[in-house]
Amino acid sequence: MAECTEDDCEAAASVRLHVPWDADRSVCAAHARALVQQDGVVAEPLEGTDSEWP
């Protein structure tokens, strides 16, 4: 499983973020919750990561 692409984060990536003004990236659930609140960002859960969502 891939790691979160955010700096200094070693958690497993569980979400693919589609960011209109930047490259798409895979992040952990915690970073996805924060980043998806920005206008235009769309989150897509990665396949097989159901256990990452509380």
Q: What is the pLDDT of residue 47?
A: 86
Q: Where are the domains of the chain?
A: 1-49
Distance CA 43, CA 28 (A): 11
Q: What is the pLDDT of residue 9?
A: 96
DSSP, res 2 = P
**Residue 4 burial by Cβ neighbours in a 10 Å radius (0-12, 13-18, 19+):** buried
10-residue mean pLDDT series, the chain (54 residues): 92 94 94 94 87 60
In this structure, the number of other CB atoms found within 10 A of the CB of residue 14 comes to: 24
Which H or E run contains 13? none
Distance CA 11, CA 1 (A): 10
Q: What is the pLDDT of residue 43?
A: 92
Q: What is the pLDDT of residue 20?
A: 95
Q: What is the pLDDT of residue 12?
A: 92
